[in-house]
Structure 1
């Protein structure tokens, strides 16, 4: 079953937010020895001054768990629900601390989070009705919830979580890269993506790996170029599919 533009965008948002929070949690647990987009890696050290070191560890583990749930596709709805209070809390902290620019970034993350829930709004209708609800229409992306690969990805994420506190950069990076690869395989194996969408998913996973290996000379320039190409391909793919859906012979 071919994906519509909104389906593919939701798929990419899940991968993006999954990476953002999974890598942020692992980075905190390794005290900065894991590539990531957001921080701060020194959270535990700072909060330990106030007797809140354990709380910082809980935050880090929660970020890893939520990121892994989003990555898995199978449990992505649960991950999106759990991420809402986390995003709101992070946004409140950044605003209260007057961090320049950071609240805007976190506001974008919260917006993307809410878009994921809006995509699956039919699954939550029963919360607002006392009447029996008809069976919801199954979103196209629910086909990605089945099979072996989501479970393999969750297992790799748990291995990464358990080895991170050991401060073994090699083991943690290897487990993290394996997690990213399996998250990509879980998306690429089921039918539904066209060849360009498969290329973009592969590019997104490559970016995660490049960010993890960001300290290696030459990795970050490649990351920038790959991100630019990914954005161009995404815009082109969305435009072409929109034209096809609007044409008389197009299929939505």
Structure 2
């Protein structure tokens, strides 16, 4: 629930162990307010909550599994609202970076990747948009990727999933115009997190903290889509028009 000056006081992170998601929550509520971390790994959620706990800030954890039936997502949003009142910001930070070499001929692995990176997050976008529209205000921040703009064959499934999520979130954002609610789609490049640990570092690599700062600035500007870092916008505009064979031989940009 926003305070008397209209400042956000509640942030819910769906994917509450995400380095980027928790960094955004910390950036938006630097010293006071309520942060709700929703995820499926209890121990990891507790560690994340401990890192975010500072005087004046309340941190709670909730169980959330993006691969569960849609009703479970609706329930976690209701539980979050019961704990903290209106949800000022919801950060959707669910995802798993699964390369094609790990999927191979394993159809269940393909299904799992699509559920984690596309279907589950799309359900969360739909359910969250409905709740924010009903309460008359709030922002949904969706962590997409530059892979949604142009992906590689080595990350085909991940890129296709992110592209679908990215498009869906932007279109849902348009339906919220005039409601008081909004959607911000964030397209990071290579971010130094646990998810990218051990991978070759791509050009223009950044940190979760830097992504969070860029998100905060973009919210003040009422942006609909933001690249992190900003240099990736013209870079990806160029890569978008490259022939696919040439694209596959350029340095990695996916998150």
Task: State TM-score, norm by structure 2.
Answer: 0.32
Instruction: Tell which has more relative contact order, 1 or 2 (C-alpha 8 A, sep 6+).
Output: 1
Structure with greater Cα Rg:
1
**Higher-strand-fraction structure:** 2
With structure 1 as the length reference, what TM-score do the two structures score?
Answer: 0.32
